[in-house]
């Protein structure tokens, strides 16, 4: 028997409509590429989004059309999110740090009809333009006064699209499974793969984030998405913030420690979200200033494992760390590490220990771990296995990519994350490693993350990575790559001695190499793939593993 309740589609446009009526003064602050700080509200944004939607229709954009953005975090990018999905088109966010080859691949694969770009990327586009789809038009996200000269590029002006348009729009009634957003993973091997979000998955994800992080996602809170709008929709903040009345502070292109500190201080940011590499810079600045930015109380760290030393450094200064895990294919949030009430008063060292896990699953995301034959493993905190996920905010297939889809799901339809993890009896997930980053030494696994966690606690280490180097006898052996902190030293003997207090001899790195900086992926994480290629021929010293 069916129930008797109204069945209204979950639609993204309703989020901004809600924010406009309930939180009209909720702020959006943007550091603009023009150089100044821009302030607006959810009410104003709703009006401009309506104008932009009309502008898009005027350019002939229709339902299902893919419209790309190549832009930093800012209010115009947010307007595009809502206007594009609102008219039934698909907002395809492009990561500007992708290689030219990957960028061209995804523009063609997505069949983008229109590309919105920050003016900073115009020189890049001038180079790529001859290889773009012939009928794709480009819009510079600025006003007439700041339009760049761009020989060889025919540019439309963003503000011209809005000028003179009525600021009301009748958003079409879209079925909730209509595609709304498209985001390609950076693809460490092979071509990038596209995750195609729906209105339904996006609204559910925003609701789920809101109930999961009620201390952050609520009216009056000021949130800084350092995570870019092109990295899995800034982890859902453009939807969860307006839904809950939190304000958004967009940092623009400058993400170094000092720029972030000053902006957070000035704008009284309460919660900041981003990958660990960004927080290394901020922590350096906090140390230099001898204080936290005014009002700073919470940091969400995700995208790769938060080192224990980083969690400790924040928690020591009274900043709550929420260590979250997820994937592009998961919208992205899978688990979050805020502690249960009964653990929140633990002494610092215990709290840091507990927060080093990736936390518990959010509502709507199911987790399972299996052995290589697909048999489920117990949630005992001891048995590492391949991690699979299932839920309404998780992809059911990559965009037009049969080859990738054949590998991505198991027989029961669960999505294979590529991560290896344990889950304990209370549901805490601990990522052991990415399967491809585990070091397979003589039939045993060595977790690169575990080793890195210890090395990162040495005061002379700014950043580090442990990678597998091919080995004749043992298949692979660990190599520790260290970036020393400015003006500090992290001698090899000290690092190995530190590690040997925690690990068996066969688990220790055979060698330590020092680099000026570690290579980063397009999403700002340490690129172990690049390091593995760089050190593939590295000659390891003979060490006895006994």
Q: How far is the CB of 202 from ligand ADP (least distance, A)?
A: 16
Please say if 185 is a catalytic residue: yes
Q: How far is the CB of 232 from ligand ADP (least distance, A)?
A: 6
Q: How far is the CB of 333 from ligand ADP (least distance, A)?
A: 10
Q: Quick one: tokens of 102?
A: 């990957």
Residue 171 or 279 with smaller CB distance to ligand ADP: 279
Please say if 414 is a catalytic residue: no
Q: Ramachandran region of residue 35, left (φ > 0), alpha (ψ -120 to 50) or beta?
A: left
HEC readout, 422-462: EECCCCCEEEEEEHHHCEEECCEEECHHHHHHHHCCCCCEE
Of 440, 475, 525, 530, the catalytic one is 440
Q: How far apart are CA 457 and CA 310, in angstroms?
A: 8
Residue 181 or 303 with smaller CB distance to ligand ADP: 303
3-state class (DSSP) for residue 305:
coil
Q: How far apart are CA 10 and CA 204, in angstroms?
A: 8
Please, which residues bridge with residue 471 across strands? 475
Q: What share of the chain is helix, strand, coil (3-state, %, to 5)?
A: 35, 25, 40
Of 33, 117, 178, 185, the catalytic one is 185
Is 465 within 8 Å of 518 (Cβ atoms)? yes
Q: How far is the CB of 394 from ligand ADP (least distance, A)?
A: 12
Q: DSSP string spanning 158-193?
A: HHHHHTT--S--------TTSEEEEEE---SSSS--
Strands 66-70 and 114-117: parallel
3-state class (DSSP) for residue 207:
helix
Residue position matching structure tokens 């991560």: 419
Of 329, 422, 452, 521, the catalytic one is 329
Distances (CA, A) of 287 to 261, 283, 293, 313, 454: 11, 6, 11, 10, 21
Of 34, 188, 370, 445, the catalytic one is 445
Is 304 within 8 Å of 279 (Cβ atoms)? no
3-state class (DSSP) for residue 280:
helix
Which residues are CB-contacts of 429 (< 8 A; sequence separation ≥ 6)? 325, 334, 335, 357, 358, 359, 360, 361, 367, 387, 421, 422, 423
Is 152 within 8 Å of 126 (Cβ atoms)? yes
Q: How far is the CB of 335 from ligand ADP (least distance, A)?
A: 8
Residue 28 or 91 with smaller CB distance to ligand ADP: 91
Q: How far is the CB of 257 from ligand ADP (least distance, A)?
A: 21
Q: Quick one: tokens of 423?
A: 């889950």
Residue 45 or 358 with smaller CB distance to ligand ADP: 358
DSSP state of 246: -
Please, which residues bridge with residue 440 across strands? 445
Residue 161 or 431 with smaller CB distance to ligand ADP: 431
Residue 53 or 282 with smaller CB distance to ligand ADP: 282
User: How would you class 168 by CB atoms within 10 Å of its CB: exposed for 0-12, middle for 13-18, buried for 19 or more?
Assistant: exposed
Please say if 27 is a catalytic residue: no
Residue 26 or 303 with smaller CB distance to ligand ADP: 303
Q: How far apart are CA 200 and CA 392, in angstroms?
A: 8
Q: How far apart are CA 386 and CA 410, in angstroms?
A: 11
Q: How far is the CB of 95 from ligand ADP (least distance, A)?
A: 8
Residue 22 or 188 with smaller CB distance to ligand ADP: 188
Residue position matching structure tokens 């503000």: 159
Q: How far is the CB of 383 from ligand ADP (least distance, A)?
A: 18
Q: How far is the CB of 239 from ligand ADP (least distance, A)?
A: 17
Is 298 within 8 Å of 270 (Cβ atoms)? yes
**CA angle (239, 120, 83) in 5-degree steps:** 30
Residue 293 or 385 with smaller CB distance to ligand ADP: 385
Q: How far apart are CA 146 and CA 201, in angstroms?
A: 37
Is 280 within 8 Å of 259 (Cβ atoms)? no
Q: How far is the CB of 185 from ligand ADP (least distance, A)?
A: 4
Please say if 268 is a catalytic residue: no
**Cα separation of the two ends of the chain:** 67
Residues that bind ligand ADP (CB under 6 A): 185-186, 232, 302-305, 323-328, 358, 417-419, 431, 434, 521, 523
Residue 228 or 281 with smaller CB distance to ligand ADP: 228
Distances (CA, A) of 53 to 76, 85, 336, 344: 12, 9, 35, 46
Which positions are catalytic?
Answer: 185, 329, 440, 445
């Amino acid at each position: 028997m069916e129930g008797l309740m109204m069945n209204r589609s979950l639609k993204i446009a309703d989020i901004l409509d809600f924010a406009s009526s309930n939180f009209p003064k909720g702020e959006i602050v943007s550091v603009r590429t023009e150089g100044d700080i821009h302030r607006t509200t959810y009410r104003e944004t709703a009006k401009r989004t309506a104008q932009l939607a009309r502008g898009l229709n005027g350019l002939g954009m229709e339902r299902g059309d893919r419209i790309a953005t190549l832009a930093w975090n800012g209010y115009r990018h947010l307007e595009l999110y809502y206007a594009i999905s609102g008219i039934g088109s698909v907002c395809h966010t492009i990561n500007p740090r992708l290689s030219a080859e990957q960028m061209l691949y995804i523009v063609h694969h997505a069949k983008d009809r229109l590309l919105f770009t920050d003016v900073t990327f115009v020189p890049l586009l001038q180079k790529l333009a001859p290889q773009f789809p012939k009928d794709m038009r480009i819009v510079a996200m600025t006003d007439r006064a700041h339009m760049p000269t761009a020989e060889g590029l025919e540019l439309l002006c963003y503000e011209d699209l809005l000028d003179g348009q009525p600021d009301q729009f009748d958003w079409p009634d879209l079925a909730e499974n209509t595609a709304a957003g498209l985001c390609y993973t950076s693809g460490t091997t092979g071509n990038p793969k596209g995750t195609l979000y729906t209105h339904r998955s996006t609204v559910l994800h925003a609701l789920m984030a809101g109930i999961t992080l009620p201390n952050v996602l609520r009216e009056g809170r000021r949130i800084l998405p350092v995570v870019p709008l092109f990295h899995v929709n800034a982890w859902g903040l453009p939807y969860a913030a307006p839904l809950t009345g939190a304000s958004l502070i967009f940092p623009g292109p400058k993400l170094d420690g000092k720029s972030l500190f000053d902006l957070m201080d000035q704008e009284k940011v309460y919660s900041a979200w981003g990958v660990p590499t960004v927080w290394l810079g901020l922590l350096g600045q906090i140390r230099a200033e001898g204080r936290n930015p005014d009002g700073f109380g919470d940091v969400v760290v995700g995208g790769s494992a938060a080192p224990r030393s980083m969690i400790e450094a924040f928690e020591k200064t009274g900043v709550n760390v929420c260590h979250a895990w997820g994937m592009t294919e998961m919208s992205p949030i899978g688990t979050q590490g805020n502690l249960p009430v009964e653990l929140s008063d633990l002494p610092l060292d215990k709290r840091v220990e507990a927060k080093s896990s990736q936390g518990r699953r959010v509502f709507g995301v199911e987790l399972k771990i299996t052995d290589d034959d697909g048999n489920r493993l117990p949630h005992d905190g001891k048995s590492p296995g391949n991690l699979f996920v299932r839920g309404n905010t998780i992809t059911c297939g990559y965009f037009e990519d049969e080859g990738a889809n054949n590998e991505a799901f198991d027989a029961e339809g669960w999505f294979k994350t590529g991560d290896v993890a344990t889950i304990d009896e209370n549901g805490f997930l601990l990522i052991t490693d990415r399967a491809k980053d585990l070091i397979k030494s003589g039939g045993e696994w060595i977790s690169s993350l575990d080793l890195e966690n210890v090395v990162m606690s040495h005061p002379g280490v700014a950043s580090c990575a442990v990678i597998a180097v091919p080995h004749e006898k043992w298949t692979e052996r660990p190599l520790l790559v260290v970036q020393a902190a400015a003006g500090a030293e992290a001698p090899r003997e000290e690092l190995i001695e530190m590690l040997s207090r925690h690990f068996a001899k066969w688990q220790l790195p055979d060698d330590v190499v020092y680099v000026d900086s570690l290579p980063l992926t397009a999403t700002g994480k340490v690129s172990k793939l690049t390091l593995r290629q760089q050190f593939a021929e590295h000659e390891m010293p003979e060490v006895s593993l006994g």
